[in-house]
Amino acid sequence: MGFVLFLVLPIMSLHTWADEAWDKGGSLQNASVYRWMKASAANRLATSADWFLKMTRQSNKPLWQELKAMDRTDYDEAYRYYATRLESCISEKVEKKSVRPENRVIDYAEKCYETLHGADRSFAE
């Protein structure tokens, strides 16, 4: 039994450390639909996390205040939940046959944020 724990503990701590960086390294802010679809799930999620925070700060003050008032654990869970929902919505929208590969993903991110949170302003820079 002790030997099994010896093998499992390093894996568990590595998983926890790697999981802490789930929102880092997103590089698809100016990507085309084609690039979004070819990107890794981790890159799409990290980019969605960036967009979620930016859009929430700019256009959804009540949600931003709610997030800021949370303790660290609740914030982390909520942040990941919202980023995951945004990524899922974007990926679902860009998979439609009517979407052109050269379209900008940010346009779909804005539509998804509006659908999910009711904001109605442009976030593209």
123 pLDDT higher than 90? no
Domains in the chain: how many in total?
Answer: 1
Please report whether residue 17 resides in a domain: no
**Containing structural domain, residue 84:** 25-117
Please report whether residue 60 resides in a domain: yes
Q: What are phi and psi of 120, to 5 degrees?
A: -140, 45
Q: What is the pLDDT of residues 19-48, one digit of tens each?
A: 679 999 999 999 999 999 999 999 999 999
Q: Judge contact between 26 and 49, C-beta under 8 A.
A: yes
This prediction has a pTM of 0.80
Please report whether residue 74 resides in a domain: yes
Q: What is the pLDDT of residues 60-71, one digit of tens each?
A: 999 999 999 999
Q: Judge contact between 24 and 53, C-beta under 8 A.
A: no
Query: Helix, strand, coil shares of the chain as percentages rounded to 5?
Result: 70, 0, 25
* pLDDT score for 19: 60
CA–CA separation, 122 and 124 (whole Å): 6
Please report whether residue 88 resides in a domain: yes
